[in-house]
RNA sequence: GGGCGGAUAGCUCAAUUGGGAGAGCGCAGCCCUUACAAGGCUGAGGUCACAGGUUCGAUCCCUGUUCCGCCUACCA
């Protein structure tokens, strides 16, 4: 026969987690319908990339959302957490392209249709991976409502939004420089470009003045672009150069002549004060070119593939841009046109997907005119209709939104939402949610759809309402929009959060969510960002296997609010596994002591002070935990639960209960309180550690369980507190710790029973202590205790002065008198220091007259207590000293 | 260049609006006390980065400095 689960010495998560997750799924407990009449509460998951594997960020993100949703569900809300994945255009396409590259093919050989089929096939094989991983974390998402950004419904939402914005003039097409990734062969939005500081070279090139007299020196970090220069700009206010404006340069390595122009944006102090202008390959230069009248022409010398074009001239055409750079510099050197080269640190844009250096390239692209949308989104946050938590992020949000530039939404890839625009040979453009049969202008059926797809974030921006069924009306939509909270990391605040707010306001007429909770980034132990290339990634699934999802979740929650970063270390998870084990063993103890024994029928059967106390403490903890969760202070909530379970419930109450259980009359009440407090802490902890709490909760007697799962049990709140019991227990606790301190410091053997005198300051305390002598004896290892007010101190005793009482432990023969004197001396110095600090304040006229009355009163009370303590310690020391001297003399 | 955040115990970090700083881990001592050694009891350890200012009083508010991190920007 195997040991029953509940009696094993330690908690083993593996099989138990699977068991309960299946149970929850089977019972449909993740659906909002379990609380049909509750107030709706809804969170949409930040959809992870369908190509993704669960990483630490997902794990933290999912944990926090699950804590919120489980908590709200237990509070009776109609709670809905909508899961799903994102089609992740570029990332997914890259993954599948790599796969087919192994077959020595590329997507063009396959053709668009076949390639798309391959991606869908890949998605059906691997796309469920991250969903499966979320389940391992215990996520209570309603999987029946799972969505994918390329679902038919979501695609319709995307087309609908596109058409509407187009019709309003908020989507337009334009040819201008955009960020181009020469490896992914697509345009990128400004946000998708990562700037990194790099060491480069600033090359000073002599540009000969036409007509053969002298030259102008320009500085550049990209010498190869000189082949596409169409001008040189100087500041018109620059006396060195102003009279050159209007003259021409013989552009080296080409046979072109280019003008010297004036532009106020040129910094006179930087470089030589003269700048080459390459409108086709530099955003600034494009601006300068446009400002000229007539505008400077564009010469594109670098193509979409990052190689030099025919316009670069026969010597350079076809070269990679970096090879060309070397050759151009070499050629210029031969011509004696390089003045100097110096090291230069500057920041360079890289593709956020493949890290290739971005090339500005002029191509036709679709844009969203963003300013009108941003204006409303700024207002929503300013007016508090969307709260960003922590508040500090609002600044970043405003800063970005106020300087926002039009959003390039077209991508030259195949995987994604095809742009719903068709072109006719007659020149007509058709924009429609459905594929048009013929051209409305000429009737031709030869319509060609725009080959590009939309930025993935375009569809993600619609997520809070597209997942609820929009553009169809649905019950979910009227119940759950606006959603309640959005939980995410700051790195997609602009990419995603801001755009959702814009689209929600535009298409739903209301914000997409009330609260945005921005959580930390998970870093490694050294504080480095986890990345595959650094090899410092910790796989959350391995942590779950090793320590269980509960310990892992609790760790993440407990460290969630420590500022922006969480430094993750396995040691911490190990620590919280100990916590779970503590809970497990407390439950085991309670089960052993309640099974087949009388349990009081409710709270009225509870008569003993410790039981009243723990129930009151439970009420207090519940209140604080609820308050913390209301404010997204996950760490405070988790730590309060930790403190309650370990310090108050296990260290104090269970130990006290061992005595209470020996009292035949009180025992049923103690048993009820043990179960009641355990039930309470299980419920409080359930959102953080769903599995172990369910496992234990299911073993509680039926009267403590009002439903089939702890998931739908009522979350403790609004429980009555019992100030009288708390005050009474303080006295008991002081008596016990007072004795323990002495034992500990004087190294009394744990087995040795000591005789104790307790001198209480009030009759009330005397009564309380007297009534609880069995508890004190047991927990403090005392064999006899004499209690009274104004007790005469014994001749030879160690003393400990507390705030409600003082404790004497006669130390006849037991103790080194000298050591005890040292200990008391230290105590005395501490007390005196505090007292003099206190007195100094009270003697200060300014303090007494200007500080608030209650602060002064507090200081006065404190000084009285310290005075008392001081004289008590001095008395004890004097007694010991006389003994000491007797011994010396005798 | 602009902006934001951080500097508190050996380590990692807390501290609801200004009134002599807490936790976890670690460390030291003593204990296999029948829920738990993944445990219990006790203890040591902090001029709250630096310099000024406001205040009766500053870890907290203001200014400046140093050192870290991050976001953002078209100085070629």
pLDDT tens digits for A822-839?
A: 777 878 888 888 888 888
Categorize the per-residue pLDDT at A814 as very low, low, confident or very high, splitting at 50, 70 and 90.
Answer: low
Q: How far is the CA of A862 from the C1' of B50 (A)?
A: 34
Q: Over 50: is that where the pLDDT of A3 sits?
A: no
pLDDT at A6: 53
Backbone phi and psi for residue A702, each to the nearest 5 degrees, phi listed first: -55, -30
The CATH number assigned to the domain holding A130 equals 3.40.50.620
Q: How far is the CA of A358 from the C1' of B62 (A)?
A: 44
Burial of A141 per CB tally in 10 Å (0-12, 13-18, 19+) = buried
Q: In whole numbers, what is the pLDDT of chain A averaged over residues?
A: 90
Q: How far is the CA of A58 from the C1' of B17 (A)?
A: 34
pLDDT at A890: 56
pLDDT at A812: 66
Each residue's pLDDT tens digit, A507-517: 999 999 999 99
A108 and A45, same structural domain?
yes
Q: Which residue is nearest to nucleotide B39 (CA to C1')?
A: A582
Which of the residue ranges A74-78, A183-187, A577-581, A846-850 would you say has the lowest mean pLDDT?
A846-850
A333 and A192, same structural domain?
yes
A343 and A236, same structural domain?
yes
Q: Is there a contact between A272 and A215 (Cβ–Cβ < 8 Å)?
A: no
Q: How far is the CA of A833 from the C1' of B46 (A)?
A: 17
Q: How far is the CA of A820 from the C1' of B22 (A)?
A: 29
Nucleotide with the nearest C1' to A845 CA: B56
pLDDT at A844: 83
Categorize the per-residue pLDDT at A1 as very low, low, confident or very high, splitting at 50, 70 and 90.
Answer: very low
The CATH number assigned to the domain holding A697 equals 1.10.730.10
A260 and A339, same structural domain?
yes
Which of chain B's bases lie under 7 Å from a protein CB?
2-6, 12-14, 19-20, 23-25, 29-31, 33, 35-43, 55-57, 69-76
Q: Is A658 contained in some domain?
A: yes
Q: Is A263 contained in some domain?
A: yes
Q: Is A395 contained in some domain?
A: no
pLDDT at A419: 96
Q: Which helix (H) or strand (E) holds A809?
A: strand A805-810
A564 Cβ partners below 8 Å, 6+ apart?
Answer: A490, A520, A521
Nucleotide with the nearest C1' to A855 CA: B19
Q: How far is the CA of A518 from the C1' of B8 (A)?
A: 25
pLDDT at A5: 54
A579 and A523, same structural domain?
no
Q: Is A515 contained in some domain?
A: yes
CA distance A791 to A305: 95
A705 and A605, same structural domain?
yes
Q: Over 90: is that where the pLDDT of A560 sits?
A: no
Backbone phi and psi for residue A114, each to the nearest 5 degrees, phi listed first: -65, -40
pLDDT at A815: 56
CA distance A593 to A579: 21
Question: What interhelical angle do A634-643 and A667-685 show, nearest 10?
Answer: 160
A200 and A344, same structural domain?
yes
Nucleotide with the nearest C1' to A800 CA: B42
Backbone phi and psi for residue A444, each to the nearest 5 degrees, phi listed first: -65, 145
**A839-873: b or e for each residue (b if 16 or more CB lie within 10 Å)?**
eebeeeeeeeeeeeeeebeebeebbebbeebbebb
Q: How far is the CA of A691 from the C1' of B67 (A)?
A: 45
A535 and A607, same structural domain?
no
Q: Is A365 contained in some domain?
A: no
Categorize the per-residue pLDDT at A2 as very low, low, confident or very high, splitting at 50, 70 and 90.
Answer: very low
Give one DSSP letter per residue of A526-559, joined into a string: TSPBP-TTTT----HHHHHHHH-HHHHHHHHHHT
Q: Which residue is nearest to nucleotide B15 (CA to C1')?
A: A636
Nucleotide with the nearest C1' to A747 CA: B30
Q: Which residue is nearest to nucleotide B40 (CA to C1')?
A: A651
The CATH number assigned to the domain holding A285 equals 3.90.740.10
Q: Which residue is nearest to nucleotide B38 (CA to C1')?
A: A578
A525 and A632, same structural domain?
no
Nucleotide with the nearest C1' to A274 CA: B76
Three-class DSSP labels, A780-807: HCEEEEEEEECCCCCCCEEEEECCCEEE
pLDDT at A142: 97
Q: Is A176 contained in some domain?
A: no
Nucleotide with the nearest C1' to A780 CA: B41
More confident residue, A794 or A778: A778
The count of structural domains within chain A is: 5
Each residue's pLDDT tens digit, A257-266: 999 999 988 8
Q: Is A454 contained in some domain?
A: no
Q: Is there a contact between A530 and A536 (Cβ–Cβ < 8 Å)?
A: yes
Q: Is A99 contained in some domain?
A: yes
A804 and A823, same structural domain?
no
Each residue's pLDDT tens digit, A264-318: 888 888 888 899 999 999 999 999 998 888 889 999 999 999 999 999 989 999 9
A218 and A98, same structural domain?
no
Q: How far is the CA of A581 from the C1' of B32 (A)?
A: 19
Domain residue limits at A872: 816-890
A666 and A795, same structural domain?
no
């Amino acid at each position: 026969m195997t040991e029953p689960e509940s009696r094993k010495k330690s908690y083993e998560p593996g099989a138990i987690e699977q068991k309960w997750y299946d149970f929850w799924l089977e019972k449909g407990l993740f659906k909002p319908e379990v609380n049909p009449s509750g107030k709706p509460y809804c969170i949409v998951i930040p959809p992870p990339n369908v190509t993704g594997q669960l990483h630490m960020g997902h794990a933290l993100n999912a944990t926090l959302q699950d804590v919120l949703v489980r908590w709200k569900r237990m509070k009776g809300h109609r709670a809905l957490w909508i899961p799903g994945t994102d089609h992740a255009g570029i990332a997914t396409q890259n993954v599948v392209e790599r796969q087919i590259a192994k077959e020595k093919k590329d997507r063009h050989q396959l053709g668009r249709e076949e390639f798309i089929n391959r991606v869908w096939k890949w998605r059906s094989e691997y796309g469920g991976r991250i969903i499966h991983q979320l389940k391992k974390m215990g996520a209570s998402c309603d999987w029946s409502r799972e969505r994918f950004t390329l679902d038919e419904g979501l695609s319709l939402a995307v087309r609908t939004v596109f058409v509407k914005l187009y019709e309003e003039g908020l989507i337009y097409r334009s040819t201008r420089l955009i960020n181009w990734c020469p490896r992914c062969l697509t345009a990128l939005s400004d946000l998708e470009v990562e700037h990194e500081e790099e060491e480069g070279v600033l090359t000073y090139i002599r540009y000969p003045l036409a007509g053969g007299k002298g030259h102008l020196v320009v500085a550049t970090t990209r010498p190869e672009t000189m082949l596409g220069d169409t001008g040189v700009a100087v500041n018109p206010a620059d006396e060195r150069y102003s009279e050159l404006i209007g003259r021409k340069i013989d552009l080296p390595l080409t046979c072109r002549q280019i003008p010297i122009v004036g532009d106020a944006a040129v910094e006179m102090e930087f470089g030589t004060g003269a700048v080459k202008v390459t409108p086709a390959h530099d955003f600034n230069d494009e601006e300068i070119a446009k400002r000229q009248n007539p505008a400077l022409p564009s010469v594109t010398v670098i193509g979409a593939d990052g190689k030099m074009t025919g316009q670069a001239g026969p010597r350079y055409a076809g070269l990679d841009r970096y090879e060309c750079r070397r050759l151009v510099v070499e050629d210029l050197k031969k011509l004696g046109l390089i003045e100097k080269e110096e090291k230069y640190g500057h920041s360079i844009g890289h593709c956020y997907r493949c890290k290739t250096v971005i090339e500005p390239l002029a191509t036709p692209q679709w844009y969203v005119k963003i300013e009108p949308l941003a204006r409303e989104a700024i207002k929503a946050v300013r007016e508090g209709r969307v709260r960003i938590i922590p508040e500090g992020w609002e600044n970043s949000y405003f800063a970005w939104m106020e300087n926002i530039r039009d959003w390039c939404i077209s991508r030259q890839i195949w995987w994604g939402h095809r742009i719903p625009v068709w072109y006719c040979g007659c020149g007509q453009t058709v924009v429609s949610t459905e594929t048009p049969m013929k051209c409305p202008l000429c009737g031709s059926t030869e319509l060609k759809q725009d080959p590009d797809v939309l930025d993935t974030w375009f569809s993600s921006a619609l997520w809070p309402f597209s997942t609820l069924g929009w553009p169809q009306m649905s019950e979910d939509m009227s119940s759950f929009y606006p959603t309640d909270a959005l939980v995410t990391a700051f790195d997609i605040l602009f990419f995603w959060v801001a755009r959702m707010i814009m689209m929600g306001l535009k298409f739903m007429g209301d914000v997409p969510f009330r609260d945005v909770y921005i959580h930390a980034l998970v870093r490694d132990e050294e504080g480095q960002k986890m990345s595959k290339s650094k090899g410092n990634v910790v796989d959350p699934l391995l942590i779950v296997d090793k320590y269980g999802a509960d310990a892992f979740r609790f760790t993440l929650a407990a460290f969630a609010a420590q500022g922006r970063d969480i430094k993750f270390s396995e040691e911490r998870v190990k620590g919280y596994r100990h916590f779970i084990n503590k809970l497990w063993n407390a439950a085991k103890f309670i089960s052993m002591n309640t099974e087949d024994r009388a349990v009081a029928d409710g709270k009225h059967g509870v008569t003993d002070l410790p039981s009243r106390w723990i129930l009151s403490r439970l009420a207090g903890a519940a209140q604080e935990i609820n308050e913390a969760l209301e404010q997204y202070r996950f760490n405070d909530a988790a730590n309060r639960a930790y403190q309650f379970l370990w310090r108050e419930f296990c260290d104090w109450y269970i130990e006290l209960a061992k005595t209470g259980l020996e009292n035949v009359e009180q025992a049923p009440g103690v048993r009820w309180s043990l179960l009641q407090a355990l039930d309470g802490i299980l419920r409080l902890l359930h959102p953080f550690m769903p599995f172990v709490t369910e496992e234990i909760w299911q073993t509680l007697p039926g009267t403590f369980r009002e439903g089939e799962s702890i998931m739908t049990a009522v979350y403790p709140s609004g429980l009555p507190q019992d100030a009288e019991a708390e005050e009474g227990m303080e006295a008991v606790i002081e008596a016990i710790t007072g004795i323990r301190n002495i034992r500990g410091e004087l190294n009394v053997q744990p087995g040795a029973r000591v005789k104790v005198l307790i001198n209480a300051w009030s009759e009330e305390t005397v009564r309380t202590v007297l009534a609880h002598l069995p508890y004190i004896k047991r927990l403090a290892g005392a064999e006899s205790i004499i209690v009274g007010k104004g007790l005469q101190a014994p001749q030879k005793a160690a003393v400990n002065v507390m705030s409600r009482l003082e404790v004497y432990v006669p130390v006849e023969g037991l103790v080194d008198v000298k050591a005890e004197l040292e200990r008391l001396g230290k105590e005395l110095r501490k007390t005196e220091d505090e007292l003099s600090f206190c007195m100094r304040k009270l003697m200060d006229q300014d303090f007494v007259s200007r500080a608030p009355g209650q602060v002064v009163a507090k200081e006065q009370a404190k000084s009285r207590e310290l005075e008392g303590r001081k004289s008590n310690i001095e008395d004890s020391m004097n007694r010991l000293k006389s003994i000491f001297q007797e011994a010396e003399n005798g």
